[in-house]
Structure 1
Amino acid sequence: MTDTTIRTTEVVLPGRVEPDGLEVRTRELPAPARGQVVLRMDATGVSFAEQQMRRGKYYDQPPFPFVPGYDVVGTVTAVGPEVDIALTGGRFAAVVKTGAWASHLLVEAADLMRVPDGVDPSAVESVLVNGLTAWQMLHRTAKVPAGGVVVVLGANGGVGSTLVQLARLRGITVIGTASPRHHATVRELGASPVDYNAPDLYARIREMAPEGVDAVFDHVGGAAVEQSWQLLRRGGTLVSYGTAVSKNEEGNSRLPVLKLFGRLAAWNSLPNGRRAHFYNFWAGRRRHQASWQRRMNDDLAQVLRLVAEGSLVPQIAAQIPLTEASSALALAESRTVAGKVVIVPGT
């Protein structure tokens, strides 16, 4: 442990504000407690979670004010009691849910995932939660075989663009929805694009896959999730992982999720050979933390191996300094870019 005082620059979400309402503050960071390390941020980013949090719509967000930031890649600069000093100077990734939009932050040593040398931190950040989510939904939840056909809603997004690439690496045909401005990108990733705003969207997908599809990955939720369910062939799997359609709706943030849970449960009770799952990144962590963390480490290692060998290309929409996090959030919410908006320390 070190006695050197560390000052951290943080981006604070003070309440339900527009992106330009974020506040940049500086404070003294407490010394790491037992089991903690100080992580100097090398890259963090904007996910859908922060977009919901600023509206007070994320399922279990903390009370305002707080520092957002779902995941982070950084370098250990100090360790607390009972933490191996050899971690100092190493680069690690961590999923923290909040707190990553900071130049330095305290992280539990048990939550660290080693990042291999030679992989750019912004590249790692772009496939951290996005890559873990995509890998687990494809390989652990849907278990789509080689030669299958899947639909990825939002194929130009952080999770979607990673899903497309992972599926193509497995020899799976992908139909990806996106706005027309992103169709060229979706084609380059290896998917057949469909305009997500087209009134006959699902009819077009059925024309492309008349026998049904093996899986639909749906982050949109809402009433249209029924259409996703109907696209499945017998034995197919609907993987729902969000309710983006309700992002701007007023009211209880949990109600859309609970309605979705009820709908998925009802479909699973039907004797039609199809399955419906809600993917929860944090499932099992509270009761089985050690095995949950091992699974995360194993899956991230697989994703980063693909990045290192060039098989999986991180989709970085932009790299924006921490003190300009308002611009990063606004850009991510504009839906004009493909991939993930990454936040970096700056000069």
Structure 2
Amino acid sequence: MAVHPTGGRADTVGLGRRVVLSAFDGDTASLSVDRAPRPVARRGRVVVRVEAAGISYAEVQLLRGLHPFPPKLPAVPGYDLVGEVVEVGPGVEGWAPGDRVAAMPRSGAWQEYVEVRASILAAVPRGVDAARAVALVCNGVTAYQMAHRSAALRPGQVAFVQGATGGVGSVLTTLLVHHGVRVIGSASPARHDTVRALGAEPVDYRGDVGAAVRALAPGGVDAVFDHIGGASVSVGWGLLARGGTLVSFDSSVDGFRSGQWFRPHVPVLRKVLGWTVARALGLTGGRTAKTYYVKPGDRFREDLAKLFALVDEGVLDPVVHARYPLERADEAVRALIGGGIVGKLVLVP
């Protein structure tokens, strides 16, 4: 990607580098890097100097024109970030310049400086590496809340995690194993040793996943965590033991056309609605189906703090697969699409 030829350091001339998305065409050539004036903090907002920003399938969906909440173009992608507050706007309480924070603005994180609402900020300890910290912001809180709030699993129960070595799956598997839950995790055969190292039992995601999981857990599993959607959700529902919970937290966008913003998610929503009605009628043996979407707020701050405490205790070690500068954001997205990623991909401005 080409950088606009404006010279000088961003922090001395009031400019900052940013990644810009110009079209929803699925082509990483639609990503470029330029410089823009550093934002000014408006009422209720702060300006953050970004230390690390996450790369996720949300950006892949956005690039393909298939994210359910698209920004107006041109736009700066980037779902989550870790950084330092450099300016506080009028009316902001509890935050000051120099504070280290995390945020999920859902867009805008892929730049050196970003203005965000103070209400979505969470504190980040000084001693945690920024890239490892951002691996816990969206992915980590998603994993924690699905394990302990959505499914509320107990020690001794059994869970099946789709994509056990991914950004969410690796954290989720670690948390569940630490909690005393037996975990079966899907991955490619090349990643089975990684699954075992996380304390889980691997199955090949490319084969008959349902049969493989049933062979390991003939009585069914107490929870299924699915990020694929479509037919995968139905397979997961069929694996549940009585009283079990299926949590769907994303849907694959493969095979859909650009501009079909909500279409990839509709089949899962219909299935979950149908199972919810059936449960209310007493027809599911106590089985429950839920969708999950991470949100900022008090619970987000509380659960992120718990994750950082687990890092400090040595229980959790967020995996950063690779770090890229802003100028290589296109390469990072292609790497994510290509698969084989263990842990989190991160942009470091």
Same fold (TM over 0.5): yes
Q: Which residue of 1 aligns with 2:16?
A: 8
Q: Distance in 2 between matches of 1:30 and 1:63?
A: 18
Please state if 1:266 is matched with 2:270: no
User: Which residue of 187, 199, 206 corresponds with 1:197?
Assistant: 206
Q: Distance in 1 between matches of 2:81 and 2:215?
A: 41
Structure 2 gap segments, 5+ residues each: 1-11
Q: Which residue of 2 aligns with 1:218?
A: 226
Cα 1:237/1:248, change in 2 over 3 Å: same
Please state if 1:234 is matched with 2:242: yes
Q: Aligned runs of 1:20-169 on 2, under 5 Å?
A: 20-84=29-93, 87-169=96-178
The offset of 1:6, in angstroms, is 2.6
What residue identity is the alignment partner of 1:56?
Answer: G
Q: Which residue of 2 aligns with 1:299?
A: 303
The offset of 1:162, in angstroms, is 0.5
Instruction: State the TM-score, normalizing by the size of structure 1.
Output: 0.92
Q: Deviations over 1:207-247 (max 9, x none)?
A: 10000000000010012311110000000000011112x33
After superposition, the CA RMSD in angstroms is 1.5
What residue identity is the alignment partner of 1:215?
Answer: A
Q: Distance in 2 between matches of 1:105 and 1:280?
A: 23
The offset of 1:336, in angstroms, is 2.0
Q: Distance in 2 between matches of 1:279 and 1:179?
A: 25
CA contact (8 A) 2:227 2:251 kept: yes
The offset of 1:255, in angstroms, is 2.1
CA contact (8 A) 1:8 1:105 kept: no
Please state if 1:247 is matched with 2:269: no
Misfit runs of 4+, over 3 Å: none
CA contact (8 A) 2:163 2:169 kept: yes
**% identity of equivalent residues:** 43
Cα 1:205/1:107, change in 2 over 3 Å: same
Structure 1 gap segments, 5+ residues each: 283-291
What residue identity is the alignment partner of 2:341?
Answer: V
More displaced stretch, 161-170 vs 269-278: 269-278
The offset of 1:294, in angstroms, is 1.0
Q: Which residue of 1 aligns with 2:4?
A: none
The offset of 1:106, in angstroms, is 0.6
